[in-house]
Amino acid sequence: MSPVPPSSARPDEVSFGRDAADELAGAAPAASDRQAGAWSPGSPPRRGGAATQAAAAPSAAAPEPDVAGEADAAIATRGLTKRFRSGQLAVDNLTLRVPRGSVYGFLGPNGSGKTTTIRMLLGLVAPTSGGHQLFGVTMPDGAGAVLPRVGSLVEGPAFYSFLSGPANLARCDAADRTADPRTAAARIGEALERVGLTAAGAKHYRAYSLGMKQRLAIAAGLLRPRDLMILDEPTNGLDPQGTREVRGLIRKIAADGTTVFVSSHLLAEVEQISSHVGVMRAGQLVFEGSLEQLRGRDAARIRVRTPDPDVAAQVLAGLGLADIQRQDGQISAQLGEERPEDVCARLVHAGVRVAGLDTPRASLEDLFVELTGEGFDVNG
Amino acid sequence: MSTGDLATAGRPPAGEPPAAGAAGGGVAWRPSAARAWLRLYRSELGLIFLRWRNVALLAVLAAIPVLTGVALKLAAPSGRGQGPAFLDQVAGNGVFLAFLALTVMLTLVLPLAIAVVSGDSIAGEAGHGTLRYLLTVPAGRTRLLAIKYGALLTFCVACCVLVSAVALATGAAAFPVGPVTLLSGDTVSLADGLLRLLLVTLYVAAGMGALAAIGLAISTFTEHAIAAIAAILVIAIASEVCDNIPQFSVVHPYLPTHWWLSFDGLLRMPIAWGEVGHGLLSFGIYAVIFCAVAWARFTSADVTS
């Protein structure tokens, strides 16, 4: 395992959790409420729209490989919206695209609509409006055809407590009308081996540890070769060892060419494995793209420690730097196009005594919190 | 497996509601569709019959006829004509213990067993969270429901046959067994009598099958199995109470429990099908209506458990 980058600093998580809670308490935006309400009466022309889009896409081939026809994406949603009967708008006009072969990190605080989205993707919950396709097959009509290609872990493992692990997997396999019963025993053994549960064999499920349960759920997804694995919080509640095991497992699955869609409320959990991320906030997708694109959102800043802040501020302003902030003995500004060494030279030239100078970059975690939390000052 | 085997294999679940709907865009299934149905059906039976709780239920069902037989044996050590009529009958012919056991257990114990298993059928899966995994496999909602009901019917038959068989064995062990005197006064051979017993057992199972349909429907509305079980029992008991209040005689024929004991006709010579036919019709209608309710609910409900 590669060393955990400083971005996963625990204090961030704490503040992130608090922000998320505030956001949940305060912020179901009234405007989007009305919007979704307007869609719900007539189911919109989702299929026609999707088909047109797919046909039009090749001609509009953009430099980015991600932007392709919906049929080429492992998951493509279009205005997916879910309003529960309680009136709660869980998912609001969600349009996301998961490229084939990617490891897609689906991020957001608890309660931001990730699980509801996943339930809709799998056909467990019917969208209020909008629709989606898996591998170009429209759901939920095509569920029988496409879901056998999809393995899933939804909101934690769930098995019969009075059955052993293998018996539970046999039950899952029996429910799959496209699975070959003659190979069931071999496939079950193989899946258990892949997740390292062979030894647990005869134990009843109720005697499993949380990590074992989680791994058994992943094994259920591996009963047959899959084109897509949808994993909802696969490391939830696991200790660091368990987390590492699951992460390694996901890497292995992805290495086999399976598209992996993994949700988490912790960026640190997925940033090491995912090629793409989507960030949810209060039911809306606030960012979708590669990790590099997420990093690119960060505007570099320069930070100067000096006993002469007034002069320094003048110099920085003179250079045309934006967003100049002063804080006891420290002054910072957006770097823009300037190079830090040039700025330093100008400061010194102007007689500013520079005690220290650096260009802090926000960690991914900070960016993530900025996206998902309300009014969090990244550089504060 | 030969084609003939496959055809037979597919039968139990295939008798259920619109199975074709379950396929959706079922592109992926192969000629082994019948086998796939049978496989899930067997898995379902395994869940019901290997579960400790259900085994205990069946053990209770089997124990009651034995206890009844022992009690009657102890109560009738001497000559006849001193106890109630049924006591004489059983003492005279052990076969009657089976009829007695079915009649006695039909008011509460059998419905209880059916309520527990049918109420648990969908609600239990939802409560455990296993339902979401079955559906994402995908098992197919209509298919799963059909197989669940098929397994419930099997359980109903198993319960009734178990009670009959144990009672018969106990009766044969404790009392003399011989030609059976029917309600019409005719005496038929033991073989004919046992055939009548089988018919009565299946009739009782049909009544339980209707109750199981009600249970299945209720089970699709909750993820708390215990709530579903309680609701089914309340319905059964309320119906039995109403059935005993003469002022409600207008609704009696429409009560789900009203025809449960109407198997007298099977014990006459010749068999009087009138009441029995009414009963079977009532069970059939209840089964169809509540399977439809279950289907409508289950195929449209959001699975959020």
User: Higher pLDDT residue, B78 or A367?
Assistant: A367
Any A CB within 8 A of B1 CB: no
> If you average pLDDT over every residue of chain A, what do you get?
76
Asked if A123 lies within 8 A of B135 by C-beta distance, the reply is yes
The pLDDT, as a whole number, for residue A18 is 36
Mutant choice from A118, A124, A162, A206 vs B, greatest count of B C-beta within 10 A:
A124
Question: What is the CA A116 to chain-centroid distance, rounded?
Answer: 14
- The predicted-structure confidence for A128-167, as pLDDT tens digits, reads as follows 999 999 998 888 888 888 999 999 999 889 999 999 999 9
Distance from CA of A6 to the nearest CA of B (A): 37
Cis peptide bond prior to A41, omega within 30° of 0: no
Q: Nearest residue on chain A to B45, judged by CA atoms?
A: A171
Asked if A143 lies within 8 A of B30 by C-beta distance, the reply is no
Contacts of A113 in chain B (CB under 8 A): none
Task: Using the CB atoms, write b or e for A4-38: b if 16+ within 10 Å.
Answer: eeebbeeebbeebeebbeebeeeebeeebeeebee
pLDDT tier, A182 (very low <50, low <70, confident <90, very high otherwise): confident
Any A CB within 8 A of B45 CB: no
Any A CB within 8 A of B248 CB: no
Cis peptide bond prior to B270, omega within 30° of 0: yes
Q: Nearest residue on chain B to A217, judged by CA atoms?
A: B133
Distance from CA of B222 to the nearest CA of A (A): 15
Residue B130: φ, ψ to 5°: -70, -20
Asked if A124 lies within 8 A of B144 by C-beta distance, the reply is no
Any A CB within 8 A of B137 CB: yes
Contact predicate A180/A256, CB 8 Å:
no
Q: Nearest residue on chain A to B53, judged by CA atoms?
A: A162
Q: Give the DSSP per-residue string, A320-371.
A: T--S-EEETTEEEEE-TT--HHHHHHHHHHTT---SEEE-----HHHHHHHH
What global pTM score does this model have? Answer: 0.77
Distance from CA of B297 to the nearest CA of A (A): 13
Rounded to whole angstroms, the Cα distance separating A28 from A265 reads 19
Mutant choice from B137, B147, B298 vs A, greatest count of A C-beta within 10 A:
B137
The pLDDT, as a whole number, for residue A362 is 67
Asked if A178 lies within 8 A of B29 by C-beta distance, the reply is yes
Mean pLDDT in each 10-residue stretch from start to end of chain B (305 residues)? 38 38 41 81 93 94 94 72 69 88 92 95 93 91 94 96 96 90 87 93 96 96 94 95 93 92 88 91 96 95 86
Q: Which of A126, A144, A174 is closest, CB to CB, to B26?
A: A144
Q: Which of A84, A144, A152 is closest, CB to CB, to B24?
A: A144
Q: Which of B36, B52, B136 is closest, CB to CB, to A177?
A: B36
End-to-end CA distance of chain A: 31
**Residues of chain A whose C-beta is under 8 A from some C-beta in B?**
84, 119, 122-126, 137, 140-145, 147-148, 150, 152, 154-156, 158-162, 170-172, 174-181, 217, 220
Contacts of B302 in chain A (CB under 8 A): 84, 119, 124-126
Q: Is the dihedral of CA B153, B154, B157, B163 positive or negative?
A: negative
- Residue B189, CB-side half-sphere exposure with 13 Å CA sphere: 3
- The predicted-structure confidence for A84-105, as pLDDT tens digits, reads as follows 888 888 999 999 999 998 999 9
The pLDDT, as a whole number, for residue B81 is 54
Q: Which of B27, B52, B137 is closest, CB to CB, to A176?
A: B137
Q: Nearest residue on chain A to B301, judged by CA atoms?
A: A125
Any A CB within 8 A of B128 CB: yes
Spatial CB neighbours of A176, under 8 Å, sequence gap ≥ 6: A148, A223, A224, B36, B137, B138, B139
Distance from CA of A300 to the nearest CA of B (A): 43
Q: Average pLDDT in the A278-282 region?
A: 87
Q: Nearest residue on chain B to A224, judged by CA atoms?
A: B137
- The predicted-structure confidence for A191-247, as pLDDT tens digits, reads as follows 998 888 888 778 899 999 888 888 899 999 999 889 999 999 888 878 888 888 888
Distance from CA of A380 to the nearest CA of B (A): 40
Contacts of B142 in chain A (CB under 8 A): none
Any A CB within 8 A of B14 CB: no
The pLDDT, as a whole number, for residue A331 is 86
Q: Which secondary structure element, helix H or strand E, spans residue A139, and what is its range?
A: strand A137-139
Asked if A148 lies within 8 A of B143 by C-beta distance, the reply is no
- The predicted-structure confidence for A32-48, as pLDDT tens digits, reads as follows 333 333 333 333 333 33
Distance from CA of A339 to the nearest CA of B (A): 53
End-to-end CA distance of chain B: 39
